[in-house]
Amino acid sequence: MAIFKANRETISPKQKFYFSAPSGETSKLFKTSWKPNMINDMIFWGDANSRNIKSDNNGVYYWKDNSGKMNHGHQTNNKPTHLNNIINGFPALYFNNNNSIIVDLSINYFTIITVTKVIDDDYIYEFGEVAGDGGFYLNGDTNSLSINNSGLKSQKSNGNGWFSGDWEILTHKYGGTHESNSLYINNQFINLSPNFYDDDPGDLNLSDVFRIGSNYDTVYGINGYIAEIIIFNRNLTDDEQNQVNNYLNYKYQIY
């Protein structure tokens, strides 16, 4: 079995990545001495590996949280489908417009990093209900990041569409201010304008449902795949963001 090593010049000295990637193989060997949960304040880590998934005839009803916080994903209705060998030999969850996974979380600030392939844009995720008392979302249909905290709103959009139809790593960050409400695609900053609301929402201090794959009432969801999603309860530093993106990129070979 061929072994391909990551370029060590682009990663931390403590990171070591090994992959088996011969053409046509469906089983993958992925070993690393560094993992994202070595960064503090992770509150959810969903990896679509079959050992983390429980399914029935209607789809996935359980997604294990590997952060150590026991915030396991769950669903009783509108379940996504678990599919093998979808990206670089690894599995993913398939969401068909109204499917979702629910995670019960408490969030102040955040960094959310998602490995996804969006075929038809809409809500990648929503926390709480943005039109109500408070929450946030990442929406590909309106090309917007939106945060609402008791009427203080930060919303940005570029109106051009973000998604290429290929696999991408999306990093959504928020550190309390309108400026910090930001998006990176494949670790490249995306300049979002115009700004529809430019308040500084501050400390969210919210406990609510984080819905992966759709909005709060599952009416507007993506048609696409999510292989991995990692959530931190703070705005990661640039070095930390680079570490997680490098880990995911070398695993899935996206860019």
The answer to whether residue 131 sits within a structural domain is yes
Q: What is the pLDDT of residues 99-143, one digit of tens each?
A: 999 999 999 999 999 999 998 878 999 999 888 778 999 987 777
Range of the domain at 239: 41-252
The answer to whether residue 29 sits within a structural domain is no
Mean pLDDT on 158-174: 84
C-alpha–C-alpha distance, residues 101 and 209, integer Å: 10
pLDDT classification of 28: cutoffs 50, 70, 90: low
With contact defined as beta carbons under 8 Å apart, do 237 and 231 qualify?
A: no
Strand partners, 135: 128, 148
Please name which of 46, 48, 110 lies closest in space to residue 72, comparing C-alpha atoms: 46
The answer to whether residue 6 sits within a structural domain is no
What does pTM read for this prediction? 0.89
Q: What is the pLDDT of residues 191-241, one digit of tens each?
A: 887 788 999 999 999 999 999 999 888 788 999 999 999 999 999 999 999
The DSSP output letter for 39 is: S
C-alpha–C-alpha distance, residues 214 and 28, integer Å: 29
The answer to whether residue 117 sits within a structural domain is yes
pLDDT at 83 > cutoff 70: yes
C-alpha–C-alpha distance, residues 164 and 175, integer Å: 27
CATH of the domain at 100: 2.60.120.200
Neighbours of 226 (CB within 10 A): 25
The answer to whether residue 26 sits within a structural domain is no
pLDDT at 90 > cutoff 90: yes
Judged by average pLDDT, the poorest of 6-15, 133-142, 155-164, 230-239 is: 6-15
pLDDT classification of 165: cutoffs 50, 70, 90: confident
So what's the pLDDT on residue 30? Answer: 61
More confident call, 12 vs 136? 136
pLDDT at 14 > cutoff 60: no
In the chain, the number of structural domains is 1
Mean pLDDT on 183-197: 90
The answer to whether residue 214 sits within a structural domain is yes
